[in-house]
Structure 1
Amino acid sequence: MSNRLKNQTSPYLLQHANNPVDWFPWGEEALEKAKNENKLILVSIGYSACHWCHVMEHESFENEEVADIMNEHFVCIKIDREVRPDIDQIYMDAVQLMTGSGGWPLNCFCLPDQRPIYGGTYFKKEDWKSLLKNLADYWHKKPDEAVGYAVRLTEGINKSEQLVKIEQEVEYTKADVSVIFDIWKRSFDLVEGGYNRIPKFPLPNNWQFMLRYAHLMNDDVAHTASRITLQKMAFGGIYDQIGGGFARYSVDGRWHIPHFEKMLYDNAQLVSLYSEAFQYTPDPIYKNVVFECLEFIEREMTSADGGFYSAIDADSEGVEGKYYSFSKDEIKTILGEDEDLFSIFYQVTEEGNWVEEGTNVFIRKFENAELALQLGISVDILESKIALAKSMILQARTSRIRPGLDNKILASWNGMMLKAYSDAYRVFGENKFLEKAKRSAGFIQGKLISNNELTRVYNVDMGQEAHSVAFLDDYAFVIDGLIGLYEASFDESYLQTAKQLTEYAISEFYDEMSGMFYYTARSGEKLIARKQEIIDNVIPSSNSVMAHNLFKLGHFYDQDKYLNISGQMLRNVHSQIKTFGSGYSNWASLLLFHVFGMFEIAITGNSSEEKRMELEKHYIPNKILLGGSSGTLPLLKDKGATETKIYVCQNRTCLLPVKEVIDAIKQIDNPSTRPGAKEKES
């Protein structure tokens, strides 16, 4: 038995292809059926790695009795949120307006014209049956009341996240960012890291801002909070201590028990975060996380042609976390006499440190030197024994039934991964990271870009999906990744592609009236609302990333148009940032760059790569890098030469060039020698 999802390519939709529910994919067939038969639409949204999506499917969508009710009274549409985030945005807003919260699975009931009237997330089977019957009865008996509610709710959806365009220029100061941080820091958990709430999400962009704030504002609290958070996450069960990579979040306050799904977007952002943290404070823990995460990405989430898969499921054999957790007896069988040391290192207990399940999720409590001292062995012996034991556990784990892999390739998340490899190369200088970044860029340029237009989804089995229109986040993150690769390689072709995609994004997504970008293109499908994604979440908002891109490209190309659009966007959002710093963290980083200025550092000549790598040993978050032995960018004009020179520039003026990185750092660190303060070279 199969339904209309059998011919879809999304792994999530294919998971539901054999349900007795008469699922439709989103499209004209389903929408016309709802209108013709005057039935309510059920829009059910999830993603392949979602644990509670699997639970609801098993309890309700695989049940014949429940399916009969759904099929009789509703047109049921199943949506992969990662393929159609534009639809997910609308109905997530609706459910949040109705209930005050949201999540996945997301189940929203709509009028035949797509306007929502009721919704929620996970429902138990009996509750779901009651809801289905009550809503069918309500639509039959009180259609006018339902329509009236839908009108008001749709108005709320269209108004959410709307901003007032601020025409007046704003002069930003250190006081502006201090106010934001002073409110924000009240929520820090300075014992376990992160915030004083459960569950705990990594939120990489939050801590990226904190690193930058700590450095630029010389703030110890921000630095301390960041260091505690990064170490606790690296030592916690949210981090796969055996195979590398982070799970989506921790269900407790100690980063111990994760929600085991592994998402590409989390790991890409966390590689960039830990790389930047190492640049600021060279802690070997950070380096270890970056290298292990990238080994995990290469081993488990990279396609043969250089794209990156989307996610690995939380469940295997119907049990969440079964693939990753071990009993002490299992460890003894694998490691023999080395089990004692391994169990001490990773806090393994006989009864299981995951008490509810009676098994162990590996976590760390001590740094290597501290534990070696306690055990009376050398650090080298400890590390070599643990490394061997980890490889044996990993090998044993690979013989288990693996969690499902969502092998669709998304443009936006691949852009993040391109940026992650570029960031890792810039900080650690490993050539293999640069090669992976170039390979990623080649995949994006070859498979996902045509005539300066992106395709959102690439399926490894079928290739490019012609119907897969890209959204603003696809453009924003791919542009960001290409900019990062230019700064790592000084190959202007990447920057030129970024500029071309930016021009297309402005033409298709930018709204002059509001001064912001819409999430969907002008030429895209017309839904009941056209949203502007502004608030930063587990992923920075597409508008905030575009504002950063335009700010950087404006400096690279000396383009006022880009700088003006970016400046307008920040003005629109500025008053909101202090109300919810965590939700505007990427905007707050852009504000920092305005307050402290952006250093444009040009490195020219035959030794430009050597000097670039030396410069990257210094943490300068408010900089862009450009150069090479030749270049066509405005700031490189007339600077081509065999002799290597370093130009420190700001506000369209440059100091006299220097030959050594240490002298450039002095120019940056000393306010009296910054551009505008002394003799300049234009």
Structure 2
Amino acid sequence: MTRDTQYTNHLANETSPYLLQHVNNPVDWYPWGEEALDRARRENKPILLSIGYSACHWCHVMAHESFEDPATAEVMNRLFVNIKVDREERPDLDKIYQTAHSLLTQRNGGWPLTMFLDPENRIPFFGGTYFPPQPRHGLPAFTDLCEQITAFYRDKRSDLEQQNQSLIEFMRNMHRSESPSADAIDSMPLDVARQQLGGQFDKTFGGFGKAPKFPHPTSLERLLRHWSATGGKDTEALDMTLFTLDRMALGGMYDQAGGGFCRYSVDDQWMIPHFEKMLYDNGPLLSLYSEAWAATGNPLYQRIVAETAGWVQREMQAPEGGYYSSLDADSEGEEGKFYVWSQDELHALLEEDEYAVAAARYGFDRKPNFEGHWNPHVYESLESVAQKTGNDTARVQALLSSARNKLFNAREQRIRPGRDDKVLVSWNALMIKGMAQAARVFDEPGYFASSQRALDFIRTTLWSEGRLLATCMDGRAHLSAYLDDYVFLIDAILERLQVHWDSDEMAFALQLADVVLEHFADPEGGFWFTADDHEALIQRPKPLGDDAMPSGNAIAAKVFGRLGHLLGDTRYTDAAQGTLKAAWNHIQQGPYGHTGLLVAVEEYLNPPETLVIRPGNDKIIWQQAVGNNYAPRRMCFIIPDEATGLPGLLAERKPQDKGVAWLCQGTQCLPPINDPAQLGEQLDTTGDN
């Protein structure tokens, strides 16, 4: 993005890379805050609110076309108080105004989000997403729209006030519903979601629905858990999951040279991605591919985990330990330029035999699939490539490995896409969990060490005076944390503790849980997205449904249920039950849109299996007895005999000379088990296998 550095607006002191991209726009941008809101009230000017993020391609397009244009900026500055928001730093504002956009336009939102707000009460009265500089595709020119909006605000005040009142009443009441009794919670939504996902499944290419195709890890996790819950009988649920994971891993949405997944595919075949890479996609996908390997042993999934974790450690982890947020879709002003290849480049880099197998595998011998260039997408199996090229599969694999290394090393010399270097607690928590889960499943200490560094950074930099801060950039941490930050981090710590017990980490998780109960809980059940001492906004969101990530309430219900059973603390199980009751009507109305919450429903109806081991001197033998097969409802904690300060029921799990294990499902426990072999037999015949 070009900058006229002769002009600097009010964004100069911000930490967000996205906001700093706009600091030299001729638009007189303000960050969200009292200075801008007060000016709008004093001057009675509508607020033009623009929400985006640094890796957003169409945000860059609108910025280049309109926000960098002095003539457009003159119109915006004359008519509005202009506010820029990074949706990643302020997901509260994004949730509120995306909801308002959907209500006003009856269309889905997106980014850039362009909303026009009443200066007195910040209620939106018109909105859209991207607007072009000239009329096209049924959209008005942006400057013409600005003039029309101002005229409407000036001439139709009574109509506007009536619309505002209706909108705000609906938004403030949309989370209210009558809670059922606890015994009304049943398994019906689990079965309905299974059928709904089956109905949306693309049998040709995998995934759900048509392009654009998103990975939807919570939906795939639901199918995998459903297969497990049926004792392996629902093989179709497993097949849908694995087919989708295969197609994503072999498609162009996965970075075949460097590892890691892009945001989504623009086509049905997972061939051409929107090239941005987001931390919040790759963390859950690390977890999912690790679980799929535990369920199947497919070596493809192990490779995808290794390559994705390698990319994260190589490119997305700060020296201080935190994980960066995203990589841009664009480099040198062009989307995907960093990732695609010309024939001249391929022939110059690869030996003849390397090119032969790479061309057959990745389609380099076919028509270009991205704007005259080739984005690697797996077209042929290894066996087919071997047959076509006259090699055996071992030779094909060796040549492909050599070719991929050459492509990767050559790509490293290119101008990189922009990276958003801010550290967000919630997204870091998703990656911490993914790394920890991969460490446990594959017994890989390097993954665990990476997660440790990220957690240490959060505790050192973003935990202050008993509360979390949401974001940090260049050592500057600020903004009150949201529900997602707290509960995603608890979830990650519970996963880490199953790899390596740390009493101090457990105590930290309980501190986080106490903050959630004190500051985020709704007395009617469930949790608000913002704390009770957060800035007052036009709505206090209470997210229940899935979007790109599971909702905070879904993860809260799961982790509080698990903490309650692990520690024998009814405060936590009551909080989990209250969340499900508050969300029950929404779950029933659209089960497949609440797959995150369905995990908690499943564990409410069929409580998780908790296994606590005090191993004595035989930790490895006990670990071998447990194994690493797919057991989604099982929590296993191997607590060293010397560990102290154990909370709740854990304090009663005293060590014994030769080691001892306690196996419980919900509140029902077997007698203590002193023999690792006996434990292994018990796990094979009962519980979650």
Match of 1:304 in 2: 319
- After superposition, residues 169-180 of structure 1 pair within 5 angstroms as 169-170=182-183, 172-180=185-193
Match of 1:628 in 2: 639
1:294 aligns with 2:309: yes
1:359 aligns with 2:373: yes
Name the SS of the counterpart of 2:340 in structure 1: coil
Deviations 1:250-284 (A, max 9, x none): 01111111000000000111001101111111111
Match of 2:289 in 1: 274
Match of 1:486 in 2: 497
Match of 1:679 in 2: none
- After superposition, residues 441-590 of structure 1 pair within 5 angstroms as 441-459=455-473, 461=474, 463-466=475-478, 468-512=479-523, 514-590=524-600
**Aligned residues: CA RMSD:** 1.8
- 1:105 pairs, out of 89, 106, 112, with 112
Q: Contact (CA 8 Å) 1:455, 1:465: kept in 2 or not? A: yes
Deviations 1:14-50 (A, max 9, x none): 1111111111111111111101110000110000000
1:579 deviation in Å? Answer: 3.4
Distance 1:180 1:169 in 2: 20
Flag structure 1 segments of 5+ consecutive residues without an equivalent.
Answer: 675-682
Name the SS of the counterpart of 1:646 in structure 2: strand
1:72 deviation in Å? Answer: 0.4
Distance 1:610 1:446 in 2: 35
Per the alignment, do residues 148 and 558 of structure 1 end up closer, same or farther by CA in structure 2, a change over 3 Å counting? same
Name the SS of the counterpart of 1:88 in structure 2: helix
Flag structure 2 segments of 5+ consecutive residues without an equivalent.
Answer: 1-6, 135-140
Q: Which runs of 4+ in 1 moved over 6 A?
A: none
Distance 2:624 2:345 in 1: 45
Q: Contact (CA 8 Å) 2:519, 2:533: kept in 1 or not? A: yes
User: What amino acid maps onto 1:78 in structure 2?
Assistant: K
Distance 1:563 1:597 in 2: 11
Q: Contact (CA 8 Å) 2:313, 2:450: kept in 1 or not? A: no
Q: Contact (CA 8 Å) 2:189, 2:598: kept in 1 or not? A: no
Number of residue-to-residue matches in the alignment: 666
1:345 aligns with 2:358: no
1:184 deviation in Å? Answer: 3.0
Name the SS of the counterpart of 2:192 in structure 1: helix
- After superposition, residues 254-403 of structure 1 pair within 5 angstroms as 254-337=269-352, 338-349=354-365, 351-354=367-370, 357-403=371-417
Identical aligned residues as a percent: 37
Distance 1:182 1:552 in 2: 27
TM-score (norm 1): 0.94
Per the alignment, do residues 373 and 170 of structure 1 end up closer, same or farther by CA in structure 2, a change over 3 Å counting? farther
Match of 1:63 in 2: 69
Distance 1:610 1:265 in 2: 36
Name the SS of the counterpart of 1:456 in structure 2: strand
Match of 1:14 in 2: 20
- 2:125 pairs, out of 106, 117, 120, with 117
Deviations 1:475-525 (A, max 9, x none): 11111111111111122221210111110111111111x211111111111
User: Could you tell which deviates more after superposition, 656-665 or 628-637?
Assistant: 656-665
- After superposition, residues 137-286 of structure 1 pair within 5 angstroms as 137-160=151-174, 162-166=175-179, 168-170=181-183, 172-217=185-230, 218-286=233-301
Match of 1:677 in 2: none
Distance 1:58 1:212 in 2: 45
Name the SS of the counterpart of 2:261 in structure 1: coil
Deviations 1:545-595 (A, max 9, x none): 111110111122110010011011112223433433332011111222233
Per the alignment, do residues 169 and 49 of structure 1 end up closer, same or farther by CA in structure 2, a change over 3 Å counting? same
Per the alignment, do residues 645 and 245 of structure 1 end up closer, same or farther by CA in structure 2, a change over 3 Å counting? same
Match of 2:3 in 1: none
User: Could you tell which deviates more after superposition, 478-487 or 366-375?
Assistant: 366-375
Name the SS of the counterpart of 2:582 in structure 1: helix
User: Could you tell which deviates more after superposition, 431-440 or 298-307?
Assistant: 431-440
1:61 deviation in Å? Answer: 0.8
- After superposition, residues 67-78 of structure 1 pair within 5 angstroms as 67-78=73-84
1:651 deviation in Å? Answer: 3.0
Distance 2:12 2:86 in 1: 14
Q: Contact (CA 8 Å) 2:356, 2:389: kept in 1 or not? A: no
1:425 aligns with 2:433: no
Name the SS of the counterpart of 1:458 in structure 2: strand
1:238 deviation in Å? Answer: 0.6
1:446 deviation in Å? Answer: 1.1
User: What amino acid maps onto 1:108 in structure 2?
Assistant: M
User: What amino acid maps onto 2:652 in structure 1?
Assistant: K
Name the SS of the counterpart of 1:118 in structure 2: strand
Distance 2:625 2:9 in 1: 59
Q: Contact (CA 8 Å) 2:614, 2:653: kept in 1 or not? A: no
User: What amino acid maps onto 1:664 in structure 2?
Assistant: L
1:652 deviation in Å? Answer: 2.4
User: What amino acid maps onto 2:583 in structure 1?
Assistant: V
User: What amino acid maps onto 2:471 in structure 1?
Assistant: V
Name the SS of the counterpart of 1:601 in structure 2: strand
Q: Contact (CA 8 Å) 1:23, 1:78: kept in 2 or not? A: yes
- 1:4 pairs, out of 3, 7, 10, with 10
User: What amino acid maps onto 1:18 in structure 2?
Assistant: N
1:143 deviation in Å? Answer: 1.9
Distance 2:460 2:341 in 1: 42
Distance 1:380 1:658 in 2: 46
Q: Contact (CA 8 Å) 2:558, 2:600: kept in 1 or not? A: yes
Name the SS of the counterpart of 1:53 in structure 2: helix
Distance 1:167 1:451 in 2: 38
Q: Contact (CA 8 Å) 1:327, 1:350: kept in 2 or not? A: no
Name the SS of the counterpart of 1:511 in structure 2: coil
